[in-house]
Structures are given as C-alpha cells and as structure tokens.
C-alpha cells in the first residue's frame, strides 16, 4: 500500500445506517422524531435539560444494542493493512468505528458514551443514563453533567488537528454524509485548494458537495466500501 501515504476518511450518519442507527436527513430533517433545535442546541439544553438528557440517554442505549457493519469493518481493515497512515474523522457520535477495530478516530462532534461537567469541565466515560440528578464524579456538583456532544452552534473538536490532516492527506474519502453540515461539508474544498489529494465520495445518493469530488460511487456503504478498500490496498501492492 505504497500509493497513498496519508488517507483521511470523513464519515457521517450514513455509514451507521445499516447498523440500525437512524440518520436525520433521511427522515425529513428529524432526528428520531425530534427537531434538532429541540434536542441538539445549547438553547434546547438551557430550556429543557430533562428532554435533552432523555434524548441522549435513548441514543446511548440504542447504540449499545447495535453492531458495526461491513463498512466500519472495511475501514478498520484499511488501517491495519499496512503502515499507511489512516485517520477517520467522524461526525458520528456512536462508537461503531472503535468497536469495528479502528484506532485512529477523531469524533469531531463528540461521543455518546461520554458526558462532561459544566462546572469543572471534566469528561467521563458513560454507559447508562445521565439525568439532572446525577452528580459529577469529580467535583460533586449537581446538576452538572451534559452530553459530550457538539451541538449546533458550538465549535467542533480537533479542528487544528483536522486542518493539519487535510493539508497532508493524499487520499480523501467521504462516506455517508449529506454534505450539508459545516465545517465538515467544506473539507473537500480545502483539500481541492491544496491540490494534492485524490477525492472520492461514497454515499447512498449524490451529496450536496458531489461536484467537488473527483470520483463518486453511489449505493450502500456496506456494499461499496469493502470493494473500494480492497482496491486501495491492492493499488499499493508491488
């Protein structure tokens, strides 16, 4: 696998769809029957924290009951196939990449299985429910814990690291993302401006950013990604 030295894969909700985790663009802009402004903004948490906690408790429980699919496994295989540097930048808050075996994963929109204290800023791994009556394990404050999720209107995590990765990469693959949520939707434009990387989109349907990709394959990620990964691995074989 010598052809590509630095591969960046951007994943979105579509890669987890075949595992049984709902996307929201495919559901008329609703995320599990909720408008995002009611459950995924700082204003929603200030207005009705119990509703927001219940929403994320349900998402956490759902994700705990599903398994990674062939697309997650293909990316884990890509990372393990050689010494090529592979990074997954995911907009997903589930842990299916890690459970498939990927090690190098940046959750730019946070993680369902973590909560954060709004008083002491400590971050904690979390499996069960979290409520307004749960004390912060570090400072003891209550109410204190919020989902460790980047809500609409908040700044995504790892942006400096991501900028560096986009600058260095020679293959950029976007999987299962509608290309409507920024800043992730703009990554392909940054890469095109650097002019160094091949770009490919793998999505059920053409995304909003389709014209910015050099290559596109449309269909289910679980069908297409294992084939694509196999081609990448073989392209670098002597």
**Helical ranges in the chain per DSSP H:** 14-17, 36-39, 42-47, 49-64, 70-81, 96-100, 159-168, 187-194, 221-235
| φ, ψ at 34 (rounded to 5°) | -115, 145
Residue 87 contacts ligand NAD per CB under 6 A: no
Count of residues interacting with ligand NAD (CB under 6 A): 28
Alpha-carbon distance 106 to 104, whole Å? Answer: 7
Question: Any catalytic annotation for residue 109?
Answer: yes
Beta carbon of residue 32, minimum distance to ligand NAD (angstroms, whole number): 8
User: How many helices (DSSP H) and strands (DSSP E) are in the chain?
Assistant: 9, 11
Beta carbon of residue 49, minimum distance to ligand NAD (angstroms, whole number): 20
Find the part of the chain contacting ligand NAD (CB under 6 A) among 1-9, 87-95, 130-138, 192-200. 87-95
Beta carbon of residue 138, minimum distance to ligand NAD (angstroms, whole number): 26
Which two tokens mark 133?
Answer: 């009556």
Give whichever of 40 and 117 is closer to ligand NAD, judged by the CB atom.
Answer: 40
Return the residue nearest ligand NAD (CB atom): 14
Binding mask 137-176 for ligand NAD (x = CB under 6 A): ---------------------------------------x
Residue 98 contacts ligand NAD per CB under 6 A: no
Residue 25 contacts ligand NAD per CB under 6 A: yes
Beta carbon of residue 141, minimum distance to ligand NAD (angstroms, whole number): 27
User: 109, 124, 148, 198: which is the annotated catalytic residue?
Assistant: 109
Alpha-carbon distance 149 to 144, whole Å? Answer: 15
Beta carbon of residue 40, minimum distance to ligand NAD (angstroms, whole number): 8
- 84: nearest Cα among 199, 10, 168: 168
**Bridge partner list, 200:** 173, 215
Residue 12 contacts ligand NAD per CB under 6 A: yes
Give whichever of 68 and 169 is closer to ligand NAD, judged by the CB atom.
Answer: 68
Alpha-carbon distance 217 to 226, whole Å? Answer: 12
Q: Which residues contact 121 (CB under 8 A, 6 or more apart)?
A: none
């Amino acid at each position: 696998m010598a052809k590509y030295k630095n591969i960046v894969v951007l994943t979105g909700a579509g890669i987890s769809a075949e595992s049984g985790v709902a996307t929201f663009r495919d559901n008329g802009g609703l995320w599990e029957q909720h408008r995002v402004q009611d459950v995924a903004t700082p204003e929603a948490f200030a207005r009705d924290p119990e509703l927001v906690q219940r929403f994320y408790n349900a998402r956490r429980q759902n994700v705990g009951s599903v398994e990674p699919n062939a697309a997650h496994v293909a990316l884990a295989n890509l990372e393990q196939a050689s010494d090529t540097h592979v990074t997954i930048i995911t907009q997903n808050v589930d842990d299916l990449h890690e459970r498939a075996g990927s090690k190098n994963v940046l959750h730019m929109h946070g993680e369902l299985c973590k909560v954060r204290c709004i008083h002491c800023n400590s971050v904690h791994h979390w499996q069960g429910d979290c409520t307004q009556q749960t004390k912060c394990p570090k400072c003891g404050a209550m109410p204190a814990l919020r989902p460790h999720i980047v809500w609409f209107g908040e700044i995504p995590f790892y942006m400096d690291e991501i900028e560096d990765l986009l600058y260095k990469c020679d293959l950029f693959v976007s999987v299962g993302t509608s290309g409507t949520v920024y800043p992730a939707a703009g990554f392909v434009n940054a890469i095109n401006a650097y002019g160094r990387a091949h770009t490919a989109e793998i999505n059920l349907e053409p995304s909003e950013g389709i014209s910015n990709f050099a290559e596109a394959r449309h269909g289910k990620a679980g069908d297409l990604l294992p084939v694509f990964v196999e081609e990448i691995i073989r392209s670098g074989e002597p």
